[in-house]
């Protein structure tokens, strides 16, 4: 397992240690993508699923989508401090999302759709001050929506459909929100009328919950 000690050396070596820790957390790699390609014999920037920036030569994007991987996301992921985009769509990652994800303060896009993540959505996600796109569709997240998400003034898309979320909706300070999808969860009660104050919202999906009453501000495709 890679050591967190690499965090003391803020260069591509830090990124390499973080990615090797992720590789070590993969229990099943059906196409041997990481097994054969993520090797210390080649530079990180040439590894499959990795994009590096031209200026700093650090990892800026990690895309492991549609690889059939089984495993967990280790806390070391928080050491990829130049990461702008993280996508692991349609795999079988499980367990909770590590709080260390909040260290990725440059992150613009986080896509964890269609995995087996569980537990609560970390409230520390509210520290991702540059995040624009957040999708957790098709997992098993429980609990409520952290109010801290509305500390992210840049957030434009929240897509949480197909989980086990419940509680109240408290996203009315997300003034830049354009797309909100909460369908197929366990939300109850009335749909708050304050949702109509999200003046930039153009897509709203709340079906397949247990809401009661009517909502006058109907948004459609």
Res 82 pLDDT > 50:
yes
User: Residue 157's closest CA among 190, 134, 186?
Assistant: 134
Q: What is the pLDDT of residues 96-120, one digit of tens each?
A: 999 999 999 999 999 999 999 999 9
Q: How confident is the model at residue 133 (pLDDT cuts 50, 70, 90)?
A: very high
CATH 3.80.10.10 fits 1-91+101-107, yes or no: yes
Q: Decide: helix, strand or coil at residue 23.
A: helix
How confident is the model at residue 172, as a pLDDT? 77
Res 10 pLDDT > 60:
no
Contacts of 3 (CB under 8 A, 6+ apart): 17
**CATH code for the domain defined by 114-126+137-221:** 3.80.10.10
Beta strands in the chain, from DSSP E residues, in sequence order: 26-28, 50-52, 59-63, 70-71, 85-87, 92-95, 109-111, 116-120, 133-135, 140-143, 157-159, 164-165, 179-181, 188-190, 203-205, 210-212
In whole angstroms, give the CA distance from residue 201 to residue 195: 9
Q: What is the pLDDT of residues 168-190, one digit of tens each?
A: 887 877 889 999 999 999 998 88
In whole angstroms, give the CA distance from residue 214 to residue 115: 33
Q: What is the pLDDT of residues 12-28, one digit of tens each?
A: 999 999 999 999 999 99
Instruction: Provide the percentage of residues in the chain whose pLDDT is more than 90.
Output: 78
Q: What is residue 191's DSSP assignment?
A: P
Res 9 pLDDT > 70:
no
Beta strand 109-111 with 157-159: parallel, antiparallel or unpaired? unpaired
User: Residue 112's closest CA among 131, 204, 168, 58?
Assistant: 131
Question: For residue 81, how far is the Cα from the chain centroid?
Answer: 15
Res 193 pLDDT > 90:
no
How confident is the model at residue 216, as a pLDDT? 38
Res 3 pLDDT > 50:
no
Res 6 pLDDT > 90:
no
Higher pLDDT, 54 or 6: 54
User: Residue 174's closest CA among 193, 190, 192, 156?
Assistant: 156
Contacts of 41 (CB under 8 A, 6+ apart): none
- Answer for the pair 165, 146: CB distance below 8 angstroms, yes or no: no
CATH 3.80.10.10 domain extents, the chain: 1-91+101-107, 114-126+137-221
User: Residue 23's closest CA among 44, 6, 9?
Assistant: 44
Q: How confident is the model at residue 214 (pLDDT cuts 50, 70, 90)?
A: low
Higher pLDDT, 136 or 6: 136
Average pLDDT over residues 35-45: 95
User: Within 13 A of 94's CA, how many CA atoms are on the CB side?
Assistant: 8
How confident is the model at residue 221, as a pLDDT? 45
How confident is the model at residue 197, as a pLDDT? 85
Average pLDDT, the chain: 90
How confident is the model at residue 192, as a pLDDT? 77
How confident is the model at residue 213, as a pLDDT? 65
Average pLDDT over residues 146-168: 94
């Amino acid at each position: 397992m890679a050591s967190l000690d690499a965090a003391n050396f803020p260069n591509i070596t830090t990124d390499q240690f973080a990615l090797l820790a992720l590789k070590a957390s993969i229990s099943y790699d059906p196409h041997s993508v990481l097994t054969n390609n993520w090797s210390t014999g080649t530079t990180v920037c040439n590894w499959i699923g990795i994009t590096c920036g031209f200026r700093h030569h650090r990892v800026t994007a990690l895309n492991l989508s549609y690889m059939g991987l089984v495993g967990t996301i280790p806390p070391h992921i928080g050491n990829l401090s130049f990461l702008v985009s993280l996508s692991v769509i349609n795999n079988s990652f499980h367990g909770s999302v590590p709080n260390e994800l909040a260290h990725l303060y440059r992150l613009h896009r986080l896509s964890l759709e269609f995995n087996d993540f569980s537990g609560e959505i970390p409230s520390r996600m509210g520290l991702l001050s540059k995040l624009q796109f957040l999708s957790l569709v098709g997992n098993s997240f429980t609990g409520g929506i952290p109010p801290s998400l509305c500390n992210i003034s840049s957030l434009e898309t929240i897509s949480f459909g197909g989980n086990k979320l419940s509680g109240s909706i408290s996203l009315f300070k997300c003034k830049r929100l354009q797309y909100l999808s909460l369908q197929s969860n366990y939300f109850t009660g009335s749909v708050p009328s304050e949702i109509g104050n999200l003046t930039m919202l153009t897509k709203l999906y709340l079906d397949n919950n247990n809401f009661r009453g009517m909502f006058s501000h109907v948004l459609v495709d």
